[in-house]
Amino acid sequence: MSRRIAMPSDTARPALWGGTPLFPTPIRVTEPTLPPLASLLGDLEAIWTARRLGNDGPYAQALAARLGEQLGAHVVPVASGTAALTTALAALGVRGEVVVPALTFVATAQAVLAAGATPVLADVDPRTGCLTAESARAAMTNRAEALLPVHLFGARCDVPGLERLARAAGLALVFDAAHALAAAAPDRDRRRPAVAGDAEAYSLHATKALPAGEGGFVATGSAALAERCRRYARFGLDGDGLAAASGVNAKLAEIPALLALRGLPDLPARLAHRRRCALRYRRGLAGVPGIAWLPADAGEAAGHPFAAARIDPCRFGLDADALQEALAAEGIEARRYFAPLHRHPAFASAARAPLPVAEALAGELLCLPLSSHLPFADVDRVVEALRRIQAWCAGGIGVRREHPVAVARGG
């Protein structure tokens, strides 16, 4: 007697294998949340009337003042997060080696080069993906002049440990806080620690929780360093109009400054929404084999800039690349943030030793859609997509035959 084989229903069939896409209109991995257009008209009119578009105009100044109050720091607005990093390093006079975590966006290392210094790569913590004092020490030589840790995906680095190391070794310490905008939200209870290290560099890119389009800022506890940052970002010019030091044009223009300024009151609500979405993903996918998260503990990811899933190919049934493709077929954009820095030809020689943790994490990471206004229903549909893809692959339903990139299970 022949055995009957149960055929999966069409709703169980992922789109890549012929099912109906769960998002007929594709969704992006992220998109900016903007203030209502009507609420900006008065400001736009003021800018039009004054014809003041840049050069430390009133909106850039107001943004710096407001952020400064909220961070309890001196704030220098600049043209991008990358410019914020370069500005901080250049203003600190860093020209030698800078220890950078291998797992970050390429901007972190590019900013070091732009400052005229040399990035040296260090491995990262497996639970957070961040640089640790130990991994930094292992990458340091006597040419080291600075540490440049990244609060990756909003997970705060071990700030006290890195500050101790920097102090003991006489190094400058700049934090890449592009993913850590949560620190810029108002802190009514004054529980937030002071600016870490010598300076923190933030991004106001369109993909961030406080989007200006392009923009960023340096936050520092030192008035003198803030002044050197301002000068560097303004062609090196001093008040007398003469260049006293090297510099670039990295000033923040007025319209991006306006967008960030008017978005600032909404920042706490945006961060809270991102956190709720991130927790919904974690809850919705709990128990699905082969899915973990970075940082491992949701509580560590202040502000949840990304929903960074880790895909174990053997347990999930697909690797992160193949899953990205399967999600794209569902109409879901997911991103492989980040290729480790030493995989970029420009930084291949910046690795002095193997970087096994960064390498392993980068091989698994896949960022799922997340924005400050993503509907919960969309989170739930992404969860459904992941569940049906995993169930399909776990069932081994023709995966290996029909999809060449699927991996063998159990290995």
* Site for ligand T4K, rule CB under 6 A: 28-32, 80-82, 104-105, 107-108, 150, 176, 178-179, 203, 205-207, 216, 333, 337
CB of 83 to ligand T4K, least distance (A): 7
CB of 35 to ligand T4K, least distance (A): 15
Question: Is 63 in contact with 252 (CB distance < 8 Å)?
Answer: yes
CB of 104 to ligand T4K, least distance (A): 5
Picking from 194, 202, 193, the residue whose alpha carbon sits closest to that of residue 175 is 202
HSE (side-chain half, CA atoms, 13 Å) at 276: 13
Of 212 and 393, nearer to ligand T4K (C-beta) is 212
Picking from 328, 333, 270, 331, the residue whose alpha carbon sits closest to that of residue 303 is 270
CB of 181 to ligand T4K, least distance (A): 11
> Taking the CB of residue 107, how many other CB atoms lie within 10 A of it?
23
Of 152 and 326, nearer to ligand T4K (C-beta) is 152
Give 81: exposed, middle or buried? Use CB within 10 Å, 0-12, 13-18, 19+: buried
Of 105 and 293, nearer to ligand T4K (C-beta) is 105
Of 261 and 406, nearer to ligand T4K (C-beta) is 261
CB of 150 to ligand T4K, least distance (A): 5
Q: Please count the residues of the chain.
A: 411
Closest residue to ligand T4K, Cβ-based? 81
CB of 144 to ligand T4K, least distance (A): 20
Question: Is 408 in contact with 400 (CB distance < 8 Å)?
Answer: yes
Of 158 and 393, nearer to ligand T4K (C-beta) is 158
Of 59 and 316, nearer to ligand T4K (C-beta) is 59
Of 212 and 397, nearer to ligand T4K (C-beta) is 212
The pair phi, psi for residue 135, each rounded to 5°, is -70, -35
Question: Is 195 in contact with 226 (CB distance < 8 Å)?
Answer: no
CB of 353 to ligand T4K, least distance (A): 22
CB of 344 to ligand T4K, least distance (A): 14
Cα–Cα distance, 115 to 246 (Å, whole number): 10
Of 29 and 210, nearer to ligand T4K (C-beta) is 29
Cα–Cα distance, 307 to 132 (Å, whole number): 22
172-176 and 291-294 beta bridge pairing: unpaired
Residues near 194 by beta carbon (within 8 Å), at least 6 away in sequence: 72, 73, 221
Sign of the alpha-carbon dihedral angle for 86, 89, 94, 100: negative
